Amino acid sequence: MPSPAKPILEILKKYWGYEAFRPLQQDIIESVLDGRDTLGLMPTGGGKSITFQVPTMAVDGMALVVTPIISLMKDQVDRLRALNIKATYLYAGLTRAEVNRTYEKCMYGNCKFLYVSPERLQSQSFMERLKQMPVSLIVVDEAHCISQWGYDFRPSFLRIAQVRKLFPKVPVLALTATATPVVVEDIQRCLQFRETNVFSMSFARSNLSYVVRHTEEKSTELAHILRSVPGTAIVYVRSRKRAKQISDELNRQGILADFYHAGLYVEDKEDKQNKWTTDQCRVMVATNAFGMGIDKPDVRLVVHVDIPNSLEEYYQEAGRAGRDGKRSYAVLLAKRTDQRTLRRHITEAFPDKDFIRSVYERVGNFLGVSIGEGYQQMYDFNFNLFCRTFDLPVLPTHNALKILTQAGYIEFIEEIETQSRVMILARKEELYDLETVTRGADQVLQAILRLYTGLFADYVFINEDVIAFRTGLDQETIYKSLLELTRMHILHYVPRKRTPYIIYTTSREEPKHILFPKAVYEELRQRMTDRVEATINYAYADSGCRERMLLGYFGETAAQDCGHCDLCIDRRKRGDHEPVDVQQGILYMAGLRPRRLEEFLNTLSFPHDEIVSMISFLVDEGFVEHLADDTYVAVKR
């Protein structure tokens, strides 16, 4: 990467208003600016986006950002545009006109950030256009998806190696919040790093207490916890139906709650998230669709009502608590039957191979794709109608499509919602002499011109509900008016659509020729089994330290027990500790940064008189220094 034209701190302050970088951010930025391939392991809320946005703004050219999370892609582009930074994105739901307009922007240097979904890399036309773009940095977000050892492997990520061949001198920045040591190694191998180069923050969170509560009445225990711990909370569940049920139950008990899942309309998602972010709603009950990109540092509590399949998922979601550094809690609710349920998920995730082949055959029949046809073609795919048409069980069918994706036969892109959008095609002067047919078309056009800006330059998201409110017209009239204006070439209207997609990555095959490599069936099944067993061991352990278990899973050795998880607290309540435990706890905390006495008392779960006595001893012996501002810090030796 070329030397920066502007100092990075100056850029940080100008665009983001921060006076200094967070831990690790500057190290990663300087590594990228030195032209080195870089892997950044930063926990949720660590400020990953700054590590590629700042260096891109410091040099000529643009960043190509590959990310699998379309909602996060849109959110980041909106935020960059709000800062007057030119950014755009490509994903499966865009029209041909929108795609071509995006290509032109990027090829002619009118864009600093191009976000793409990984399946876009399979398009030959995109790769041809990409060659002509001034790419100065390749960014891989959620980089664990490129590793078959990762918990969310996406075969389309492997195409990034082809992008590297187009820009051999351009550095790659890979970012992820969770990765075991084998995944860290595999990411660098798959991305063809020129040298090993990893920047990693500790997975330890000194302000976050990990707690497991064993109960057969999860709803009752959840309400009890929410009443015991004040402040904003997230409650994670595994199903959309369950999210609404638990939210309704909490509201009946006087706890202000709402629900969130991927099936909601974009406007509903934004409204719910805004109310939660601004503390109009205290508790959000959600599936794992909620949380990516949220910027709320004062979440005091994250509760998992249903146990996730992996510790990677759990750590990432639990880590949304306490980003402001204050005491917060990550609570996992577990009952006896949860172990059996988790192990059943393995069987559901890997249905019989003949069943998977039959799903593949029926997809082709459903979409009207002949044998030998379909290569690189994208099809709208109504998953629910597909299951109803062939009387297929939903969960095994869904997982069969994922395995077919991993085996390289199709790319199954799950539900994408595209908001309605409009671009004005007519010249401004032509709008004064319109003669429309449909009742209200003039009103609709005038409302759009008043409500939205940038309509003559690009597609702009619109909201038919807002137009209805402003005009007094019903939804059907607005829809017909927009279609008429489109037919008259006054504007181009792309209605809201919500659908999954199927892309054939090979021509359609005979079912008997569908093979499942060991790496995408037996080995992935074994890895899921290992992850599930690690999660069960964490949830049902009755000794040790929860944080130490998590750190060990991610390859980090803890110097001592955390002192504030439920197991550590239970052990101390039983009086099962030695003076050395108190000493180690104080030295660990004081070694991280200067601390006031109340921080030791509030964090360490030992009797207060023992903590005070041990601090006094450590000061007398020269292990800890009592500073003028009444804080204590460990003496380096």
Q: What DSSP character marks residue 595?
A: B
pLDDT the model gives residue 454? 84
235 — pLDDT class (breaks 50, 70, 90): very high
Backbone angles phi, psi at 368, to 5 degrees: 75, 35
Q: Which of 504, 513, 514, 512 has its CA nearest to residue 370?
A: 504
Per-residue pLDDT tens over the stretch 71-114:
778 778 888 998 999 999 987 667 778 888 899 999 988 999 99
Question: First vs last Cα of the chain: how many Å apart?
Answer: 40
637 — pLDDT class (breaks 50, 70, 90): low
Lowest mean pLDDT among 344-348, 383-387, 430-434, 480-484: 430-434
Q: State the Cα–Cα distance between residues 479 and 467, nearest whole angstrom.
A: 11
pTM value? 0.77
What are the tokens at 64? 């190509």
- The stretch 247-259 carries a mean pLDDT of 95
What are the tokens at 185? 């190694």
How many helices (H) and strands (E) in the chain?
25, 21
pLDDT the model gives residue 386? 95
Q: What DSSP character marks residue 53?
A: H
Per-residue pLDDT tens over the stretch 151-163:
778 778 888 988 9
Distance (Å) of CA 295 to CA 141, 273, 277, 292, 321: 17, 10, 8, 9, 11
Would you call 528 exposed, middle or buried from its count of C-beta atoms within 10 A (0-12, 13-18, 19+)?
A: middle
Q: State the Cα–Cα distance between residues 307 and 322, nearest whole angstrom.
A: 20
- Contact residues for 133 (Cβ-Cβ < 8 A; gap 6+): 62, 64, 106, 107, 114
Pairing of strands 87-90, 113-116: parallel
Task: With a cut of 60, say whether residue 5 has pLDDT above it.
Answer: no
pLDDT the model gives residue 165? 92
Task: With a cut of 90, say whether residue 588 has pLDDT above it.
Answer: no
pLDDT the model gives residue 282? 96
Which 3 state secondary structure label does DSSP give 473?
A: coil
The H or E element containing residue 597 is helix 597-603
Backbone angles phi, psi at 89, to 5 degrees: -150, 160
Specify the amino acid at residue 394: V
- The stretch 10-31 carries a mean pLDDT of 92
- DSSP secondary structure of 294-314: ---TTEEEEEESS--S-HHHH
pLDDT the model gives residue 609? 79
Lowest mean pLDDT among 171-175, 493-497, 529-533: 493-497
Q: State the Cα–Cα distance between residues 13 and 2, nearest whole angstrom.
A: 21
Lowest mean pLDDT among 240-254, 408-422, 610-624: 408-422
Buried b (16+ CB within 10 A) or exposed e, 182-221: ebbbbbbebbebeeebbbbeebbbbbbbbbbbeeeebeeb
Per-residue pLDDT tens over the stretch 263-317:
787 778 888 988 999 999 999 999 987 876 677 889 999 999 999 999 999 998 9
% of the chain beyond a pLDDT of 90: 53
pLDDT the model gives residue 80? 93
Which 3 state secondary structure label does DSSP give 418?
A: strand
Say what the alpha-carbon torsion angle 487, 492, 495, 497 is, to the nearest 10 degrees.
120
pLDDT the model gives residue 278? 92
- Say how far residue 550 (Cα) sits from the centre of its chain: 20
Average pLDDT over the chain reads 89
pLDDT the model gives residue 418? 72
- The stretch 179-183 carries a mean pLDDT of 90
- The stretch 204-226 carries a mean pLDDT of 93
pLDDT the model gives residue 315? 92
Lowest mean pLDDT among 67-76, 206-215, 466-475: 67-76
- CB atoms under 10 Å from CB of 627, counted, come to 10
Which 3 state secondary structure label does DSSP give 286?
A: strand
Packed helices 441-451 and 475-487: angle between N→C axes, nearest 10 degrees: 90
Per-residue pLDDT tens over the stretch 382-427:
999 999 999 999 999 999 999 999 888 998 887 666 778 898 988 8
Lowest mean pLDDT among 38-42, 363-367, 499-503: 499-503
